[in-house]
Amino acid sequence: MALIQEIKDGKVVNDQLTNNKKEETKNNFDKDMFLQLLVAEMKYQDPLEPTTNTEYVSELANFSQIEATQNVQSKMDEMTASNYVGKYVIINTTDSQGNQQYVSGKVDFLEKKDDGYYVSVNDGLYNIDKIETVADERYYTAMLTTKSFEDAVAKLPTLQALTLQDEEKVNAVRKLYDSMDEYQKQFINKESYDTLESLEKRISSLKES
Protein backbone atom coordinates (compact mmCIF):
# COMPACT_ATOMS: atom_id res chain seq x y z
CA MET A 1 0.00 0.00 0.00
CA ALA A 2 1.28 3.45 -0.84
CA LEU A 3 2.27 5.87 1.86
CA ILE A 4 -0.72 7.95 2.89
CA GLN A 5 -0.20 11.21 4.73
CA GLU A 6 -2.72 13.82 5.76
CA ILE A 7 -1.63 17.39 4.99
CA LYS A 8 -2.88 20.23 7.16
CA ASP A 9 -1.62 23.84 6.96
CA GLY A 10 1.30 22.65 4.82
CA LYS A 11 2.45 20.12 7.43
CA VAL A 12 2.32 16.33 7.52
CA VAL A 13 -0.03 15.05 10.22
CA ASN A 14 1.01 11.99 12.23
CA ASP A 15 0.46 8.84 10.13
CA GLN A 16 -0.94 6.87 13.07
CA LEU A 17 -3.57 9.52 13.64
CA THR A 18 -4.64 9.21 10.00
CA ASN A 19 -4.91 5.44 10.30
CA ASN A 20 -6.91 5.74 13.49
CA LYS A 21 -9.35 8.10 11.82
CA LYS A 22 -9.72 5.73 8.91
CA GLU A 23 -10.42 2.80 11.22
CA GLU A 24 -12.92 4.84 13.20
CA THR A 25 -14.67 5.80 9.96
CA LYS A 26 -15.07 2.17 8.94
CA ASN A 27 -16.35 1.18 12.35
CA ASN A 28 -18.98 3.92 12.29
CA PHE A 29 -20.09 3.02 8.74
CA ASP A 30 -20.19 6.68 7.67
CA LYS A 31 -20.05 6.63 3.87
CA ASP A 32 -19.63 10.41 3.59
CA MET A 33 -16.54 10.33 5.79
CA PHE A 34 -15.29 7.30 3.89
CA LEU A 35 -15.50 9.16 0.58
CA GLN A 36 -13.73 12.18 2.06
CA LEU A 37 -10.95 9.93 3.30
CA LEU A 38 -10.63 8.23 -0.09
CA VAL A 39 -10.44 11.56 -1.90
CA ALA A 40 -7.80 12.78 0.55
CA GLU A 41 -5.85 9.55 -0.01
CA MET A 42 -5.87 10.09 -3.78
CA LYS A 43 -4.91 13.76 -3.42
CA TYR A 44 -2.02 13.32 -1.00
CA GLN A 45 -0.59 9.97 -2.10
CA ASP A 46 3.16 9.66 -2.46
CA PRO A 47 3.97 10.45 -6.14
CA LEU A 48 6.99 8.14 -5.89
CA GLU A 49 4.77 5.24 -4.87
CA PRO A 50 1.26 5.88 -6.20
CA THR A 51 -1.67 3.75 -5.19
CA THR A 52 -2.42 0.99 -7.72
CA ASN A 53 -5.78 0.46 -9.43
CA THR A 54 -6.19 -2.77 -7.50
CA GLU A 55 -5.91 -0.91 -4.24
CA TYR A 56 -8.48 1.65 -5.35
CA VAL A 57 -10.85 -1.14 -6.37
CA SER A 58 -10.42 -2.60 -2.89
CA GLU A 59 -11.21 0.78 -1.34
CA LEU A 60 -14.34 1.13 -3.50
CA ALA A 61 -15.40 -2.39 -2.57
CA ASN A 62 -15.16 -1.40 1.09
CA PHE A 63 -17.28 1.65 0.33
CA SER A 64 -19.92 -0.47 -1.41
CA GLN A 65 -20.01 -2.81 1.58
CA ILE A 66 -20.51 0.13 3.94
CA GLU A 67 -23.30 1.57 1.78
CA ALA A 68 -25.02 -1.81 1.55
CA THR A 69 -24.81 -2.24 5.32
CA GLN A 70 -26.35 1.21 5.83
CA ASN A 71 -29.19 0.42 3.43
CA VAL A 72 -29.94 -2.85 5.23
CA GLN A 73 -29.85 -1.08 8.60
CA SER A 74 -32.18 1.64 7.31
CA LYS A 75 -34.64 -0.97 6.08
CA MET A 76 -34.54 -2.80 9.41
CA ASP A 77 -35.14 0.47 11.27
CA GLU A 78 -38.15 1.15 9.06
CA MET A 79 -39.58 -2.33 9.67
CA THR A 80 -39.06 -1.99 13.44
CA ALA A 81 -40.73 1.42 13.47
CA SER A 82 -43.67 0.12 11.40
CA ASN A 83 -44.35 -2.53 14.02
CA TYR A 84 -45.37 0.19 16.47
CA VAL A 85 -48.44 1.14 14.42
CA GLY A 86 -51.59 -0.10 16.17
CA LYS A 87 -49.71 -0.87 19.39
CA TYR A 88 -50.19 0.81 22.75
CA VAL A 89 -47.07 2.58 23.96
CA ILE A 90 -45.80 4.62 26.87
CA ILE A 91 -43.47 7.45 25.87
CA ASN A 92 -41.01 9.27 28.12
CA THR A 93 -40.78 12.83 26.86
CA THR A 94 -40.47 16.43 28.06
CA ASP A 95 -42.95 19.28 27.84
CA SER A 96 -42.30 22.81 26.59
CA GLN A 97 -40.99 23.75 30.03
CA GLY A 98 -38.43 20.94 30.02
CA ASN A 99 -40.34 18.85 32.58
CA GLN A 100 -40.38 15.08 32.20
CA GLN A 101 -43.75 13.57 31.43
CA TYR A 102 -45.23 10.30 30.22
CA VAL A 103 -47.56 10.05 27.25
CA SER A 104 -49.52 6.87 26.64
CA GLY A 105 -51.85 5.78 23.89
CA LYS A 106 -52.27 3.93 20.65
CA VAL A 107 -49.90 4.58 17.73
CA ASP A 108 -52.01 5.85 14.83
CA PHE A 109 -49.35 6.18 12.15
CA LEU A 110 -45.62 6.46 11.46
CA GLU A 111 -43.81 9.45 9.98
CA LYS A 112 -40.21 9.62 8.76
CA LYS A 113 -38.20 12.79 9.35
CA ASP A 114 -34.57 13.75 8.77
CA ASP A 115 -33.61 12.76 12.31
CA GLY A 116 -35.48 9.45 12.41
CA TYR A 117 -38.93 7.92 12.70
CA TYR A 118 -41.79 9.44 14.67
CA VAL A 119 -45.04 7.89 15.90
CA SER A 120 -48.36 9.68 16.26
CA VAL A 121 -49.92 9.22 19.70
CA ASN A 122 -52.88 11.30 20.91
CA ASP A 123 -52.36 13.75 18.01
CA GLY A 124 -48.71 14.31 18.95
CA LEU A 125 -45.53 13.19 17.18
CA TYR A 126 -42.75 11.52 19.20
CA ASN A 127 -39.40 10.06 18.21
CA ILE A 128 -39.43 6.28 18.55
CA ASP A 129 -36.31 6.55 20.71
CA LYS A 130 -38.58 7.99 23.44
CA ILE A 131 -40.78 4.87 23.60
CA GLU A 132 -40.27 3.10 26.93
CA THR A 133 -42.99 0.45 26.88
CA VAL A 134 -44.94 -1.36 24.18
CA ALA A 135 -48.04 -3.19 25.38
CA ASP A 136 -50.99 -5.13 24.03
CA GLU A 137 -54.49 -3.71 24.49
CA ARG A 138 -55.32 -5.86 27.51
CA TYR A 139 -52.24 -4.81 29.45
CA TYR A 140 -52.64 -1.17 28.47
CA THR A 141 -56.29 -1.15 29.61
CA ALA A 142 -55.29 -2.77 32.90
CA MET A 143 -52.68 -0.06 33.50
CA LEU A 144 -55.19 2.73 32.87
CA THR A 145 -57.83 1.13 35.08
CA THR A 146 -55.33 0.52 37.87
CA LYS A 147 -54.16 4.13 37.72
CA SER A 148 -57.77 5.36 37.86
CA PHE A 149 -58.40 3.28 40.99
CA GLU A 150 -55.23 4.39 42.76
CA ASP A 151 -55.88 8.05 41.88
CA ALA A 152 -59.43 7.74 43.24
CA VAL A 153 -58.16 6.27 46.52
CA ALA A 154 -55.59 9.06 46.82
CA LYS A 155 -58.37 11.67 46.58
CA LEU A 156 -60.37 10.18 49.47
CA PRO A 157 -60.13 11.83 52.91
CA THR A 158 -57.60 10.50 55.39
CA LEU A 159 -58.73 8.09 58.07
CA GLN A 160 -58.63 10.84 60.70
CA ALA A 161 -60.63 13.30 58.57
CA LEU A 162 -63.22 10.79 57.35
CA THR A 163 -66.90 11.46 58.18
CA LEU A 164 -70.18 9.79 57.30
CA GLN A 165 -70.65 12.38 54.60
CA ASP A 166 -67.77 10.70 52.73
CA GLU A 167 -69.53 7.32 52.58
CA GLU A 168 -70.76 7.87 49.01
CA LYS A 169 -67.22 8.66 47.80
CA VAL A 170 -65.81 5.53 49.44
CA ASN A 171 -68.59 3.39 47.98
CA ALA A 172 -67.89 4.78 44.50
CA VAL A 173 -64.25 3.70 44.72
CA ARG A 174 -65.35 0.24 45.90
CA LYS A 175 -67.65 -0.04 42.87
CA LEU A 176 -64.73 0.88 40.62
CA TYR A 177 -62.64 -1.89 42.16
CA ASP A 178 -65.45 -4.45 41.87
CA SER A 179 -65.88 -3.62 38.18
CA MET A 180 -62.29 -4.67 37.46
CA ASP A 181 -61.47 -8.22 36.36
CA GLU A 182 -58.92 -10.42 38.10
CA TYR A 183 -56.23 -9.62 35.54
CA GLN A 184 -56.57 -5.90 36.20
CA LYS A 185 -56.71 -6.30 39.96
CA GLN A 186 -53.32 -8.01 40.09
CA PHE A 187 -51.63 -4.73 39.13
CA ILE A 188 -53.17 -2.71 41.95
CA ASN A 189 -50.82 -1.38 44.59
CA LYS A 190 -51.57 -3.25 47.84
CA GLU A 191 -51.24 -0.06 49.85
CA SER A 192 -54.05 1.57 47.87
CA TYR A 193 -56.38 -1.35 48.42
CA ASP A 194 -55.53 -1.52 52.13
CA THR A 195 -56.35 2.19 52.41
CA LEU A 196 -59.77 1.61 50.86
CA GLU A 197 -60.53 -1.23 53.28
CA SER A 198 -59.46 0.91 56.26
CA LEU A 199 -61.78 3.71 55.18
CA GLU A 200 -64.65 1.27 54.73
CA LYS A 201 -64.13 -0.10 58.22
CA ARG A 202 -64.03 3.43 59.58
CA ILE A 203 -67.34 4.26 57.88
CA SER A 204 -68.92 1.15 59.44
CA SER A 205 -67.58 2.14 62.84
CA LEU A 206 -68.99 5.67 62.51
CA LYS A 207 -72.39 4.30 61.54
CA GLU A 208 -72.50 2.02 64.60
CA SER A 209 -71.55 4.75 67.06
pLDDT along the chain (209 residues), means of 10: 43 45 47 67 61 57 66 66 84 85 88 87 89 86 92 95 95 96 95 96 91
Q: Estimate to the nearest angstrom the gap between the alpha carbon of 41 and the chain centroid.
A: 40
In terms of Cα–Cα distance, which of 16, 17, 40, 20 is closest to 28? 20
Amino acid making up residue 42:
M
* Length of the chain (residues): 209
What pLDDT does 9 receive? 46
Alpha-helical runs (H) found in 31-136: 31-43, 53-82
- Alpha-carbon distance 171 to 166, whole Å? 9
CA dihedral 9, 15, 17, 23 (to 10 degrees): 120
Q: b/e for 113-150, b at 16 or more Cβ within 10 A?
A: eeeebbbbbeeeebebebbeeeeeeeebebbebbeebb
In sequence order, the β-bridge partners of residue 112 are: 117
What pLDDT does 137 receive? 85
3-state secondary structure of 7: strand
